[in-house]
Amino acid sequence: MHYSNYGRQHQNPGQNDHAGQSGQRYYGQQPGGHGFAGQQSGGEACTSSWSSSDGVTRTHRAKGVKKPKKPRQPGRPVSLTRKSLALLIALCVVVSALFGFGGSYLANALNGGHSGSSKTASVSKNGYKLEDATGSKMTVQEVTNKTKDSVVEIKTESVSADAWMQQYVTEGAGSGVVMTADGYIMTNNHVIDGASKITVTTSDDKEYEAKLVGTDSITDIAVLKISAKNLTPATYGNSDQLAVGDMAVAIGNPLGELGGTVSAGIISALDRELAIDGKTMTLLQTDASINPGNSGGGLFNGDGQLIGIVVAKSSGSNVEGLGFAIPINKAADVAQQLMDKGYVSDQPSTGMSYAESSQGNGAAQFFGNSQDSQSQSSSAAVYIQEVTGTNAKKAGFQSGDLVYAVDGTRITSFNTLSSIVTSHKVGDKLTYTIVRGNQTKEIKLTLEEKKASN
């Protein structure tokens, strides 16, 4: 079974579709030339919590360098597990625009009448309002009319260079939800991850260049700010009060070109615990149609209240109607903290950034481990790229150290390391086994609180 996190991605002609990689073309490359598969803005899965860089990477195109024409790119693979079942999730972001599609509202009236009822409002500890639905039911058309102006289109652009300093561009697209009338926008971290330019288009077709306020890779939530006034903020529902069978209406920007598209279904399940990129997320499940470009868009209930932020869906050829959203009670809390201070409290960090290499296996060569040697073609090595945290510096970590194991678990990927870190709390101690030059060392590290800078 396969799943996709939606921003959507495309690839260059001749490439195979993968969930999560993106194919880019070098600046100035002629059609049919060799494509470069690298990280992409907008189509990335969540950045691991231990990464020191949570913000947007600011890169700039060289003067006079032209952008390739509509590179096609696939989605990034994301590991998903539940119990003993192995699944694959792809992010719902789009990279590069598509042609040949027309947009339309899919507004099927699942509920034919409107019955009025009173509502009460509660205020969370961070100050945002959660309205308690008490049985009111609107048609999908009524929900759409109430909420469509609260959903925006997001387009991203990133410029990167390879080892030979040849530059290439990646374009991405996703969705977002208006938080405040003065221009705060909530979306997914993976929609804007690595972007050097972010453009937001509101429901009245006005475009704004957005600034990144804050982002959290663990919950996959980011907050943007645009210079706009009199926007229509979404009304937050209370996702803790949802029941299986409740109406669910998704509004977003599928394929990166069909902004304002509506699909409708029900809440299929609650509290789905899925491990994505080494991080366990508790999500809402819906059968409302979710497509690439829907990432960061809104999932609304039958009262027109925002109950979730769309994040993932099934991508299996034999699977339909399996979409997932971050419950709004969690998403809104994270977004408010990002607005207030730029980071989320009480999340563990190693205070280091890492680089992953699939070229050979230095650990196997050093340890002479036959199992490592046999798997070196597919097993990656994880190196410390930069040491920024106070605890990591005091412990004696250095840039270039190879991370062989943490707490006895062999480290062959970012996901493995991230899973270990996020399963602990601030103040917990981890034992790193590292390779430095011709020596192996064990170093103990006390996890610190993740800030905007680490």
CB atoms under 10 Å from CB of 31, counted, come to 9
- Name the CA dihedral angle for 352, 334, 339, 181, rounded to a multiple of 10 degrees: 150
Contacts of 410 (CB under 8 A, 6+ apart): 404, 416
Residue 190 designated active-site: yes
Residue type, 375: S
Which fold is adopted by the domain 348-449?
A: Pdz3 Domain (2.30.42)
Q: Determine which one of 295, 314, 353, 379 is catalytic.
A: 295
Classify residue 296 by its DSSP letter: T
Query: pTM to 2 decimals?
Result: 0.64
Sketch the domain layout of the chain as residue ranges.
Answer: 1-345, 348-449
Please count the CA atoms within 13 angstroms of the CA of 344 that sit on its side-chain side. 22
Tens place of pLDDT per residue across the chain (454 aa): 545 555 544 433 333 333 233 333 333 333 333 222 223 333 333 333 333 223 223 333 334 333 333 333 333 333 344 433 334 455 556 555 332 222 222 223 233 333 333 333 444 555 555 555 544 579 999 999 999 999 999 999 988 776 677 787 888 999 999 999 999 999 999 999 889 999 999 999 999 999 999 999 889 999 999 999 999 999 999 999 999 999 999 999 888 888 888 999 999 999 998 877 667 789 999 999 898 889 999 999 999 999 999 998 877 777 778 899 999 999 999 999 999 988 888 889 999 988 887 654 554 444 444 444 444 434 568 999 999 999 999 999 999 999 999 999 999 888 788 888 988 899 999 999 999 988 999 999 999 988 765 5
**DSSP designation for 75:** B
How is domain 1-345 classified at the architecture level of CATH? Beta Barrel (2.40)
In the residue annotation, 373 being an active-site residue is answered as: no
Which is catalytic among the residues 41, 48, 96, 190? Answer: 190
Q: What is the DSSP string of 104-160?
A: ------SS---B----EEEE-TTS-EEEEP-S-B--HHHHHHHHGGGEEEEEEEEEE
Three-state DSSP at 95 gives coil
Q: Is 149 a catalytic residue?
A: no
Q: Angle CA(192)–CA(295)–CA(288) in degrees, nearest 5?
A: 175
Q: Which of 54, 216, 220, 401 is catalytic?
A: 220
